[in-house]
Amino acid sequence: MEEISKKRIFSGIQPTNTPHLGNYLGALRNWKNMQEDYDCIYSIVDLHSITVRQEPAKLRRQIAESYALLLAIGIDPERSVVFVQGHNPAHAQLSWILSCFTQFGELSRMTQFKDKSQKHPENINAGLFTYPVLMAADILLYQADVVPVGIDQKQHVELARNIAQRFNNLYGDTFTVPEPYIVKAVQKIMSLSDPTKKMSKSDENPNSVVSLLDDRDTVLRKFKRAVTDSGSEVKAEEGKDGIVNLMSIYSAVTNKTFDEIENEFKGKGYGDFKTAVGEAVADTLTPVQNEFNRIIADKTYLEGCMKDGAEKAYKLSRRTLQKVNKKLGFINL
Ligand code: TRP
């Protein structure tokens, strides 16, 4: 049977900090599942991470760990292209070209730029400003149809669409105009210590965040300490943000509905429920961690995958780059 060509997906993740439970349930688990229906390209975007100062040894370790984690959660490097952005020089190259088709005013309006430059007034570098152009290059290089991102990145994908359309209008069909695919987290996963705030990598309180690499004891401890209200019934009700968050997490890892969860814990207290959520999360993370430990210990395998991924990525992106060069009047050798 002839294979119907699948739509192509591109997405990227920064290698800063280990992904947490919210990243996994909201996005990464989806990346794995999308392999069924799409032709997927996933990148560890190391170039993006240096708009903020990074410590070299730590960054090097985190790039390797992020890569290994993608494989550990079930992204198959034979089936999908998994690579480190900086291993493919075409990203930086197309980024320069696209920056000449992006207006200063457009970049000034990016919410993330405005937020970040307010937060780090001491280091408002040009990379922070042109960050969305590099992201557009990531996407357009591979002619991606669909870009799964969190809602915070939607504006950047829209900019990529505008750049693609602008270029296509000037030079004829060159880039696929990508669609953002807003990953609706099963339910937004909130901080364990302040359930009105999103679970975030940069939270200063380590008890707020469950890292994908936290061991079982740590996971159990964090859930035991999770902040809840003074009531005692496990019920999704107004004002019970902590319990609702724990129910969302439990539901996401066990596939149980809220009704089923309320029934399961009828007559039991918060303590029992927190233990059950901790256990269920630890059970979900253990196989991922075992796989992660196996991969990270096998440097030859890991680097082999990176190299393979980089070659595949380069090959795909070279076609786009040559087309762009030709349209602009550059000489392809
Ligand atoms: N900016 C994205 C983030 O911080 C990461 C990213 C970089 C990305 N390039 C991308 C996401 C291309 C989707 C497509 O989450």
165-183 pLDDT tens trace: 999 999 999 999 999 999 7
Cα-to-centroid distance, 50 and ligand 1 (Å):
13
Average pLDDT for 78-89: 98
Q: Give the amino acid at 331.
A: I
Average pLDDT for 224-233: 92
Instruction: Please write the tens of the pLDDT for every residue from 181-190.
Output: 997 765 688 9
Nearest ligand 1 atom, CA 48: 7
Nearest ligand 1 atom, CA 135: 9
pLDDT the model gives residue 185: 60
User: What architecture (CATH level 2) is domain 206-293?
Assistant: Orthogonal Bundle (1.10)
Q: Which of 125, 132, 123, 127 is nearest to 103 (CA)?
A: 132
CA-closest residue to ligand 1 atom 8: 12
Cα-to-centroid distance, 44 and ligand 1 (Å):
9
Residue 138 Cβ contacting ligand 1 at under 6 Å:
yes
Work out the mean pLDDT of the chain and round it to a whole number: 95
Nearest ligand 1 atom, CA 156: 1
Q: How confident is the model at residue 202 (pLDDT cuts 50, 70, 90)?
A: confident
- What letter would DSSP give residue 8? E
Q: Which of 189, 157, 201 is nearest to 14 (CA)?
A: 201
Instruction: Please write the tens of the pLDDT for every residue from 245-291.
Output: 999 999 999 999 999 999 999 999 999 999 999 999 999 999 999 99
Give the C-alpha separation, 65 to 71, whole Å: 10
* Percent of the chain residues topping a pLDDT of 70: 98
Q: Is 143 left (phi over 0), alpha (psi -120 to 50) or beta?
A: left
Give the C-alpha separation, 225 to 209, whole Å: 12
Is the pLDDT score of 3 beyond 70?
Answer: no
Residue 248 Cβ contacting ligand 1 at under 6 Å:
no
DSSP string of 141-183, one letter each residue: HTT-SEEEE-GGGHHHHHHHHHHHHHHHHHHSS-S--PEEEE-
CA-closest residue to ligand 1 atom 10: 12
CATH number of 8-187+298-328: 3.40.50.620
Average pLDDT for 215-231: 95
pTM for this model (two decimals)? 0.93
Is the pLDDT score of 28 beyond 80?
Answer: yes
Q: How confident is the model at residue 26 (pLDDT cuts 50, 70, 90)?
A: confident
Pocket test for ligand 1, best of 10, 40, 41, 48 (most atoms within 8 A of CB): 48
Residue 12 Cβ contacting ligand 1 at under 6 Å:
yes
pLDDT the model gives residue 109: 97
Domain boundaries, the chain: 8-187+298-328, 206-293
pLDDT the model gives residue 186: 55
Residue 143 Cβ contacting ligand 1 at under 6 Å:
no
